[in-house]
């Protein structure tokens, strides 16, 4: 039931898969825990498979289902288009929606190429001049522990940052006979582990440190070059008669980075880390302290204070459930932790508050373009014998 005291804010969601489910949960839950300036209305969900779309509509709480996003963006009851479809579709949908006067939330990475991301950022800049805004869905910025880590770094609690380590470790492709999906096709996904999960590491490092990655040296590797085809796979190599399709993206991305002020960073993104289901590990080492985080313990932050007496030094656990911590006051009593899905509700909250205030939500499409340039620089470095490659990024 909508809140009749607040203006309705119609949402159109494009995509009904994994991310579509996560975003649907956020649109449904956020207005029940946060005091939002508008009432988001789950108006329509868009997808191509009508049978699956109908099931998603019913399960995820959408009022209608539609097969063509072009029809949806012209509707007067739609205020925002939420893009959760594969990367190859982002550029066309986002630009058309912005030009039609709709706010846009687009899943990361922003696009499949720098050129596409530049076009999207330009469209977002034009739209912002008319009071229409776009944001990229780097949801891990809204994990309370990561947001609190940024606060600690900004307050100087670790001194001057000197080294960063960022690892995103998954193992869902360890089985050589696991079937291929659109995420393994470069024409659809853009990159593999690099863009899918490495983009999160890039954004989180830049978000927490307040610095951008200026240059990189990296290597990309594909460990399994073909996999069984799924009957529903689209745009994938191979033919139905062969029963197997080519893997055209990276399985593993390893790269070093130098931040804008010279800070050194190491990155690893892999879907072959056996035993690691979804381990996003961050460590920030400074001149007077350090911070460590792991998504598999997402309600905890490890903090080392170098000013402690010698006999008392060591990492201590901060349990991120106090009302003083980012976002947590809206949820449960102290000590009752949050889950992986909660940052998506925080994303909805921040997005709608900023739109209502007439301010540019962050991360913006310009921020997404900057991450895209880092991804492209890693690819270029790998193709050139791991040579150090500038990203063209500037501190924002």
For the residues of 82-138, what is the DSSP string, one character each?
A: EE-S-GGGHHHHHHHHHHTT-EEEEESSS-SSHHHHHHHHHHHHHHHTTT--EEEE-
In a domain, 395, yes or no: no
Considering the domain architecture, whether residues 294 and 360 belong to the same structural domain is answered as yes
Rounded CA separation 363/370 (Å):
10
Considering the domain architecture, whether residues 266 and 310 belong to the same structural domain is answered as yes
Is the bond preceding 155 in cis, omega lying within 30 degrees of 0?
no
Boundary (domain end) residue, out of 80, 115, 139: 139
Considering the domain architecture, whether residues 21 and 157 belong to the same structural domain is answered as no
Considering the domain architecture, whether residues 135 and 69 belong to the same structural domain is answered as yes
Rounded CA separation 233/84 (Å):
17
Sign of the CA dihedral 196, 198, 201, 207?
A: negative
Q: Hey, is 381 helix, strand or coil?
A: helix
Question: What is the pLDDT of the chain when averaged over all its residues?
Answer: 95
Considering the domain architecture, whether residues 170 and 128 belong to the same structural domain is answered as no
Question: What pLDDT score was predicted for residue 68?
Answer: 96
Q: What percent of the chain has pLDDT over 90?
A: 93
Boundary (domain end) residue, out of 93, 124, 139: 139
Boundary (domain end) residue, out of 104, 139, 174: 139
Q: How far is CA 324 from CA 139, 158, 176, in A?
A: 20, 19, 46
Considering the domain architecture, whether residues 151 and 282 belong to the same structural domain is answered as yes
The total of structural domains in the chain comes to 2
In a domain, 3, yes or no: no
Q: State the maximum Cα–Cα separation within the chain, in Å, rounded to a whole number.
A: 69
Considering the domain architecture, whether residues 258 and 228 belong to the same structural domain is answered as yes
Considering the domain architecture, whether residues 200 and 131 belong to the same structural domain is answered as no
In a domain, 281, yes or no: yes
* CATH (domain of 67): 3.40.50.720
Tens-digit pLDDT profile for residues 236-253: 333 443 589 999 999 999
In a domain, 347, yes or no: yes
Question: What pLDDT score was predicted for residue 128?
Answer: 98
Considering the domain architecture, whether residues 13 and 76 belong to the same structural domain is answered as yes
End-to-end CA distance of the chain: 40
**DSSP for 248-282, written as a single string:** -S-SEEEEEEEETTS-EEEEEEES--TT-SSEEEE
Considering the domain architecture, whether residues 255 and 270 belong to the same structural domain is answered as yes
Side-chain half-sphere exposure of 98, counting CA atoms within 13 A = 28
In a domain, 296, yes or no: yes
In a domain, 357, yes or no: yes
The total of other beta-carbon atoms located within 10 Å of residue 28's CB is 16
> Residue 207 has which token pair?
């978000």
Tens-digit pLDDT profile for residues 150-201: 999 999 999 999 999 999 999 999 999 999 999 999 999 999 999 999 999 9
In a domain, 1, yes or no: no
* CATH (domain of 164): 3.30.360.10
Please state the φ and ψ torsions of residue 179, each to the nearest 5 degrees: -65, 155
Question: What pLDDT score was predicted for residue 394?
Answer: 67
Considering the domain architecture, whether residues 107 and 175 belong to the same structural domain is answered as no
In a domain, 54, yes or no: yes
Considering the domain architecture, whether residues 37 and 97 belong to the same structural domain is answered as yes
Which residues of the chain are under the pLDDT cut of 70? 1-4, 231-242, 394-396
Give strand ranges (E) for the chain: 8-14, 39-46, 64-66, 80-83, 103-107, 134-137, 161-169, 213-221, 226-228, 244-246, 252-259, 264-270, 279-286, 289-294, 300-305, 316-319, 389-390
Range of the domain at 186: 143-390
The pTM for the full model equals: 0.94
């Amino acid at each position: 039931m909508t809140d009749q005291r607040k203006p309705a804010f119609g949402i159109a969601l494009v995509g009904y898969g994994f991310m579509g489910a996560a975003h649907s949960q956020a649109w449904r839950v956020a207005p029940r825990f946060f005091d939002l300036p508008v009432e988001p209305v789950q108006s329509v969900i868009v997808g191509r498979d009508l049978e699956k779309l109908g099931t998603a509509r019913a399960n995820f709480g959408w009022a209608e289902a539609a097969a063509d996003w072009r029809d949806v963006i012209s509707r007067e009851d739609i205020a925002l288009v939420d893009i959760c479809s594969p990367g190859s579709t982002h550029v066309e949908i986002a630009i058309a929606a912005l030009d039609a006067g709709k706010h846009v939330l687009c899943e990361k990475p922003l696009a499949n190429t720098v050129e596409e991301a530049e076009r999207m950022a330009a469209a977002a800049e034009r739209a912002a001049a008319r009071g229409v805004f776009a944001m990229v869905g780097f949801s891990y910025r809204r994990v309370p522990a990561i947001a609190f880590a940024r606060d600690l770094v900004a307050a100087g609690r670790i001194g001057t940052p000197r080294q960063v380590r960022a690892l995103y470790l998954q193992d869902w492709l360890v089985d050589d006979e696991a079937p291929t999906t659109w995420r393994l096709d470069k024409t659809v996904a853009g990159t593999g582990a690099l863009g899918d999960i490495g983009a999160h590491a890039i954004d989180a490092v830049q978000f927490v440190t307040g610095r951008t990655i200026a240059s990189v040296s990296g290597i990309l590797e594909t460990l399994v070059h073909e996999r069984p085809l799924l009957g529903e796979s689209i745009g994938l190599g191979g033919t139905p008669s062969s029963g197997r399709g080519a893997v055209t993206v990276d399985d593993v991305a390893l790269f070093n980075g130098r931040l804008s002020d010279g800070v050194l960073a190491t990155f690893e993104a892999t879907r072959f880390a056996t035993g690691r289901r979804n381990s996003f590990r961050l460590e920030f080492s400074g001149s007077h302290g350090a911070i460590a985080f792991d998504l598999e313990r997402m309600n905890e932050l490890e903090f080392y204070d170098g000013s402690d007496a010698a006999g008392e030094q060591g990492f201590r656990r901060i349990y991120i459930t106090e009302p003083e911590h980012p976002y947590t006051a809206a949820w449960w009593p102290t000590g009752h932790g949050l889950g992986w899905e909660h940052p998506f509700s925080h994303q909805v909250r921040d997005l709608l508050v900023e739109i209502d205030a007439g301010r540019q939500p962050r991360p913006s499409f310009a921020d997404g373009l900057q991450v895209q340039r880092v991804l492209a620089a890693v690819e270029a470095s790998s193709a050139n014998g791991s040579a150090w490659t500038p990203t063209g990024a500037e501190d924002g």
